[in-house]
Structure formats: C-alpha cells, structure tokens
Structure 1
Amino acid sequence: MQNLPDLKQLSHAQKDELIRMLWPLQQQVQDLTAQMVVMQNSIKQLEGRLALNSKNSSKPPSSDGLHKPAPKSLRVAGERPTGGQKGHPGSTLSQATEPDRIVVHNVPDQCQACHLELPFGYVSETRQVFDLPVLQFEVTEHHAMQAICSCGHVHTAEFPAGVNATVQYGPRAQAAMVHLNQNHAVSVQRTAALMKDFFDLPVSQATVLKATQAGANILQPTVQDIGQGVVRSAVAHADESGLRVAKKLHWLHVLATDTLTWMGCHPKRGGEAFESMALLKQFKGVLVHDGWMPYKALDCQHALCNQHHLRELTYLLEELDQAWAGDMMELLTHANHFDNLNCADGKSPRYDSQKYQGEVRDLRALYDAILAQAQAANPIAPSTGKRGRPKQSKATNLIGRLSDYTDDVWRFMTQPDVPFTNNVAEQTVRMPKVKQKVSGCFRTLPGAQNYCVIRSYCATMHKQGANIFESLVAAFKGAPPQPSFG
C-alpha cells in the first residue's frame, strides 16, 4: 500500500488531478458497500437455512440426516420429578391366578441328612414363566356330502361362506399377513418369511398382496363411515405429508380425532384434493392444523398448532437472537399449563369461571404487548416496485400470522376440547412415513389407497382399545367389528 503523499508539496494542478482520479472511486465504494450489505444478508439467510432442523422448524425428523440436533425439552428443570408421575397406573408382569399348566418339583423321598423318610411335601414358593405355545398352522378339511333320492333328485351340501377354493388360506392366516405388512410396516418379502418362520406356513409375496387387496375391499365401507364420523365431530385434526407413489410425488391426507382416524392418498396437495375427497369440505367444527393456507380457506372454525409456533420461536431466539421470541415461548407454555391445571377431567376446563376468564384476558394483553415489541423490532419490508408482494423475513412472517390469526392461536383456551397442538394428526402421519421408509415407495396408486384404508381401520381400532389382530380376523370372516362413533 502506497503512503499518502505530502499534500503541501503538491501543486494545484497535481491536486486537481488527484481529485479527478479519486472522485469516481467514491461512488464505487458506496456501490460496494451496498453490495456487501446485500451479501451479508444473503449469507445470514443461508446460515439460517443450515441451522433449520426438526427442533426449530416444521422440517420432519427424517430430514435431519446423521446430524441429529441435541434433544432439548421446553419443560422447566425441576418442575416434575423423574420417573412415573403421580396417578400413572404403570404396568408390570404379575402372576396369573389360573395358570394353564402346573409343573410340580418334588423333594427326594428321604432326608439327605439322616436318611429318614420325609413326610408329605407342601408348596413353599411358586414361580411362573410366560411363554408362547408352539406356533403351527392347522388344516381344516371340509367334506360336502351328497345323497341321491330314490326319485333321482340329487342333494348336495353347501360349503361354509368363504370356503371357495380347493385350497386356500383361512381368515387368521390372512389377518396375520395384513397385520404384519400393513399395520406394522413389515415388507412383503419379510412378511412371507415370517409366516414361514412363525407358523411353518409357506406363503408367497403374491399371496400377501392378495390378502391386502381383500382386506381393503372388506374394510372400505367401515372406513367411509369413519370418515363421516370425523366430519360430524366437534374438533378434528388435519395434516398432509408427501408420499412416493409410482415414482411420483403424491400426498397423504389425514383427518383424525382422539378416537377416529381417516387417511386418503391423492396426487394433489391442496384444494383439488379437498374437492376430490370431500371430507374437509363437509367439516363444520373446529379444525386444528399447522396454518397452511388451503386449510384456512375451508368454511369452518380454525385452531392453529402452537407446537409449530414454539419450534419457529425457538429458531428466532437461538439463531437470530430475537429476545421477544423467548417471551412469547414462555407465555404460550404458561398458558398451556394454566389451561391444563383448570381441567377437571383433562377435557372440560372451567371456561365460565370469572377467574379463568380474567386470566385469559391478562394473557391476551401480554400477548399483544409482546407482538407490538416484535413488530417494532421487525418492520415490514417496503415494496420494491416489482410485481407481487415483497419477500419478508421468517420473523416478520411469523409475527404476521400470530397477529392476523390471534383468535385461532388462543382457541385452545376459549373453546372446550380444542388442544394446544396438532399432535393427533402428526402422530397419525408417523407410521405411513415408517412404511414408506421400509418399502421405499408404493408401486401403484391402488396399493397406496389400500394401505390408507387398512391403516385407517387399524389406527381407529387401536385408539378405541380393540385387539387389532382379532378385529382383522373377524373382518376376513365377513363381520368386521365397527368402531364407536359417539
């Protein structure tokens, strides 16, 4: 770098030449400074994208890859003791009152010390072993009798309903295949292998697929009734997730309550799928969802998932140092705990009490104050003159959502049975994602639709405490148990 010349030694002509040379550089410095600001903002946005994970955004855990974020709970340290909480029933293996088999272990006839004959023995201790019997398939042969009357008329007995072929698999075998493959996400190949290992029953992969198709056909009417049951409910949860079908992206749509689960698969994600499947268009209760715009266009009341808000606020606090985000997280978490404490049975908060309503007003006032602070720290980006709305930051977008849909954010405190989160729908999506991980994709759209039917039925029966395997057995016998829609 050259040293600055002594200006006193320069002539007027030399100074004028130096000014003419440096003057254009002033504009270049301003231009470079502006470019540097733009580049710094871009770098900050890119670094923010790299910091996004399943703990601070709506990204699924599968997108975290090998770099899993450290688990971090929003619970306050020391708030609850470790281990099972008070009132939790717990479960452990205990002795049966009537064992199936008793094995007696006798003492010797003579005393090992004095060799005298021992008196009658008594039971000093009992121990029980819970195990499975030898699993082996059994073959039932049906004989259709025939008799010819003296008049020449032939009488032939009929086989039972469902016995249609010379050789076939029975309802329990078909239920086991469907239970493993569809409900527990075991691949078709491994399902066939397990049938051989468990029961010594040779089964081909085509047989597993045939049983799946038969099960879906049987359960389709029941699943349609489940969908209508969800539509008639006061509160329902909705979510959607990508599903690979026939090498193309399709969408799994979920509509669920605490006791009912309905799933459907469609090539489209938004309004066209809603029109085709119709259920969401019919729903008029409170729909809990993640704030996706097509849901907001539905003609019903809405409740936003606050767990999504907490994740986004975590990102703003930890990655962008937005202090207001921490205050909002603390407020929403406190409101959720307060609502739970005021529930007598976990579902019916005392909404009519003056104390409860007063607390709600105070929390809402604090909520508005925090939003005002956030809006002051994150002004809306001005229009650039280009077509469309100017792009806003993540903080501005979240602040706008929390401000524009305040009633939907707080509906969990103002209406009975509306929960704080959309976990009911998100939990419903998990097993289909596991199924897709195991199989890679669904090869055909009918195969994906069959899965949705069977999984909807199994998830519903599980929620209602039924034995899923026995329910499938009854279904293959022609009488599927019906869930409760009350």
Structure 2
Amino acid sequence: MDECDTNKQLHEQNELLKRENELLKASVSEIEPLKAKIRELEARLAQYENAHTPPSLRRGRNRKKDRDESNKGKPGQKIGHKGVTRPYVTPDRQVEVTMDFCPDCGAKLGSPFRIDSKIVEEIPEPQPIIVTDYRISHYRCPCCRKEVAAKDSSCPHEGKFGNNVIALATIFKYEDRLPHRKIHDAMMRSYGLKISPATILDLTRRAADAVRSEYDAILSKIRGAPIVYADETSISVQGEKHWIWTFTTPSETFFVIRKSRGMKVLMEVLTRRFKGIIVCDGWIPYARFTKHLQRCWAHLLRESKDIAEKFEEAIPLHNALKELYEILTTALENDPPPKVRKTLWKLAREALRHWIKKEYSIEKVQKFIGKINNGFNYWFTFVINPGVEPTNNRAERALRPNVVLRKILGTLRNYKGTSIHECIMTTLATWGLKGLNSLQMLTAKLAS
C-alpha cells in the first residue's frame, strides 16, 4: 500500500470517527432532558410513597387490598344496635286538613272518626331582600361641642349591605367552601340579591375586621396554654409557596400564613415566654424552639409500617413499636397516679432503647433508627403529663378545612386575602370547637 492509499484510508477513518462523535454528542443532548424528566417524575412519585403521607392522599393504591383481611365484618350497623330516630320538634303552627265530600262517590262525609298528627319540618320560600333606609340623626353636644351620630346595631359600619349579608357570604366562603361565583348564585337563588365577586371579597374583609379583636384574644390564649398542638402545610400566595401554621388546643385554634417554615414563626406566635408542651411531628424547628415536646406516634407508626412492608428486617421493630404504644395508651386510660406514670415512663424508655441498640444491616432501617434516637426524649412526654395526647391528630384535623379550601381556591391572590383567611378561619375554627353557631356569632360581632 503506497503513501497515497494510506492517507486516504486514514482520512476516511477520521471522518468516520467525527460522525460517531457527533452522533454521541447528539445522543447525550437528547438523554439529558430525559434524565431530568425521570428525576421530576421520581420526585412527584415520592410525595405519594412517603411514609408521612396519610393513607387518604396516597394515590394508585388498591383500597381493597389495603383493608385488614382479618376483619370479616359487614358494613353498617351491627345486630342489636339501637337505632336513633329524629326527635319531633314543637310546631310553630297547626293546619287542619279536612275534606267535605268523598272523592269516589261525592257523598257528604260529615265529622271525622279519627285525626292523625303529622309534624313536618319545612324551610320557607326564598325571601326577597329587605331594603331599609336608615335616617341617622346627628347632634351637637352642648357640653363638649362635638358632633355625635346616632347608631343602630343592625346598620353596618360601612357599605350598603347589611350584617346578615356580610355574615352569610363569609360563612358560604370559609365554612361551606364555595367560590365567589357559587356564592353569587346562592344569593340570587335564595334572596334575589346580586353581588359581584369583588364585593364578596370586600364583605369577607369587613367580617375579618369585625372579629379582629377575637383573633387577638385567641392568640393570647394560645400563648398561655399548657399544651399546644402544632402543624403546618403548604399554601400558595400569589403563586408562591407559603406555609399555613396551626396552633390548637381543645378550645382554641389559631392560624397564620407565612413564607417561612422555620423557627421564627414559632418565635412570633408563641414568643420566648411560652412554657407549655408542644405536640408535633419531627420537624426540626420545634426541637430548636423548646425541649418540652411530644413527638407524634401516628407519624412514627406510619413510617415504621412503611419500612416494614419494604424490608423484612424492620418487621419485628414495627411490631414492637405498635405493641409498646398500645400498652401505654391502654395503661393510661384510667388516669393512673404520678408514681405509676413515672414507672411506665422508665419502662417504656428501656424498651425503646433496647430496639435502638440492635444491629441493623439495611441503610434505610438504620436511618429510621437514627430518627427515633434523635427524638428519644420526646416520645414519652404524654406518659408523665396528663392531658398530653400521644399523636398530633388534633392539629392535623384543624388543618384539614384549609387543605380543602386550598384545592378550591388554588392560590390566595394577595396579602389582604391572606390576612382575611387567617382571621376568619381562626375564629370559625374556635367557635366550632366550642360548639357555637358560627353564623349567629359572626352576625353578633358585626352588630357590636
């Protein structure tokens, strides 16, 4: 082979390598977006495979398989269960239902031989709105010479819509969870009252102003409470991720919406003077804020069950945690004296420490043990402190209406809407805990 042929062959090989290199570069450029898409899908899937995700939010699961197969009971009331009949109420009026002639032959019927009573509860027909002209007298005080205007409790402080309209629109939105368009439809259908969405927003603002003092009073009670259940979940404000925090007790619930999920929110709401116990999940800022904590056993058992379903090594651990929890809650049902509680507390710590010290070969199980160990001092606070619940279900239940509203609203449009949301949801939730009629309470606040 002469030098010319050699150069030609090398040139062809060089061109071939160039083409292969270009194809490789093109393949890499096509693969990277696919890798990014895979990472995105894995992250989204993790949200529903996370052990901290409640079963109700886990998608793609076969509900029938998730049921306890050992439970063969049929749905509905059990045999021997006493039924509950709606009690009769005192009638507001009485209607005599009579007939003069037989509908078949036309003969005169005379006096009835028996009269049955049938009590019926009915709602009134849709009512037209009542338009009132308030003629407000103004006076000049003869002593201080100030102008004084007369007041009527049914006359609103601002605007041309009455207190009942303001209260009902607010309840429609925050308790019945209706969007503004549906509130407009409901008002038109029931009262023939036409209200624009912008006006409905302003009505809720007036309602929030009316309960602002109640909101501040609830905050003061939360700060002084001996036990507070706290939790947080994401919410969108102007398309940006924020967090709605709840701080709840058996008689009060308080909400704030902040961009932060950190300890500064705890400092703002509870302040440094807070001396009570916080029942919470394992989110780090709580342990940084105070050492008086009760970690949530519902989260712990949910995560241990999730790990046990994946790794056989974790099954004995999950069973032991579940048994320990059941033993403690059963022992505390009769409210034992402090000495018994202290003994239970020591025994529970020893039992948990026994499982923590065991050797585990799987990394995820080791990581889970690390979580348990990091919160070791916070798992049994409920044993020695009467009134402290072992789970954070109270706070999660308080957040649930906000989660439903979040799905309906999509995002809060501005910070004025955020302030209204905090104030109204706090007062409605607190009135609900106290068994108060929210519509009556809100109307009274507007009239005061």
Question: Considering the TM-score relative to the shorter chain, is it more than 0.5?
Answer: yes
Aligned counterpart for 2:88 among listed residues 87, 91, 95: 95
2:279 maps to a residue whose letter is V
* Unpaired segments ≥5 residues, structure 1: 1-45, 148-154, 344-348, 380-392, 479-486
- Matched pairs, number: 399
* 408 and 80 in structure 1: CA distance in 2 versus 1, 3 angstrom threshold: farther
* 289 and 80 in structure 1: CA distance in 2 versus 1, 3 angstrom threshold: farther
Aligned counterpart for 1:245 among listed residues 234, 237, 243: 237
Answering whether residue 48 of structure 2 is matched by residue 53 of structure 1, we say: yes
How far apart, CA to CA, are the structure 2 residues paired with 1:456 and 1:229? Answer: 13
Matching residue of 2:398: 428
Offset from partner CA, 1:368-419 (integer Å, 9 cap, x none): 323333xx0147xxxxxxxxxxxxx442232123223333111222210111
Aligned counterpart for 1:372 among listed residues 348, 357, 362: 357
Offset from partner CA, 1:308-337 (integer Å, 9 cap, x none): 001101111112222233323432441354
1:380-399 correspondence to structure 2 within 5 Å: 393-399=363-369
Offset from partner CA, 1:42-64 (integer Å, 9 cap, x none): xxxx999957737x611356863
Answering whether residue 300 of structure 2 is matched by residue 309 of structure 1, we say: yes
Matching residue of 1:483: none
* 416 and 75 in structure 1: CA distance in 2 versus 1, 3 angstrom threshold: farther
Offset from partner CA, 1:453-476 (integer Å, 9 cap, x none): 100000000000000111111111
* 126 and 232 in structure 1: CA distance in 2 versus 1, 3 angstrom threshold: same
Contact (CA 8 Å) 2:248, 2:395: kept in 1 or not? Answer: yes
Matching residue of 2:337: 351
How far apart, CA to CA, are the structure 2 residues paired with 1:459 and 1:452? Answer: 11
| Alignment TM-score, normalising by the size of structure 1 | 0.72
Offset from partner CA, 1:17-65 (integer Å, 9 cap, x none): xxxxxxxxxxxxxxxxxxxxxxxxxxxxx999957737x6113568634
Answering whether residue 418 of structure 2 is matched by residue 448 of structure 1, we say: yes
Answering whether residue 377 of structure 2 is matched by residue 407 of structure 1, we say: yes
Question: Mean Cα displacement is larger for which, 397-406 or 286-295?
Answer: 397-406
Aligned counterpart for 1:288 among listed residues 279, 283, 286: 279
Contact (CA 8 Å) 1:256, 1:425: kept in 2 or not? Answer: yes
Offset from partner CA, 1:165-192 (integer Å, 9 cap, x none): 9971110111000111123321122212
Aligned counterpart for 1:330 among listed residues 309, 318, 322: 322
Give the CA deviation at 1:103: 2.6
How far apart, CA to CA, are the structure 2 residues paired with 1:426 and 1:198? Answer: 35
Offset from partner CA, 1:343-380 (integer Å, 9 cap, x none): 3xxxxx113364x655555444333323333xx0147x
* 227 and 111 in structure 1: CA distance in 2 versus 1, 3 angstrom threshold: closer
How far apart, CA to CA, are the structure 1 residues paired with 2:379 and 2:158? Answer: 61
How far apart, CA to CA, are the structure 2 residues paired with 1:165 and 1:228? Answer: 27
* 190 and 99 in structure 1: CA distance in 2 versus 1, 3 angstrom threshold: same
How far apart, CA to CA, are the structure 1 residues paired with 2:126 and 2:100? Answer: 36
Matching residue of 2:35: none
How far apart, CA to CA, are the structure 2 residues paired with 1:264 and 1:57? Answer: 26
How far apart, CA to CA, are the structure 2 residues paired with 1:254 and 1:192? Answer: 30
Contact (CA 8 Å) 2:251, 2:434: kept in 1 or not? Answer: yes
Answering whether residue 421 of structure 2 is matched by residue 476 of structure 1, we say: no
Matching residue of 1:151: none
How far apart, CA to CA, are the structure 2 residues paired with 1:472 and 1:145? Answer: 27
RMSD: 3.7
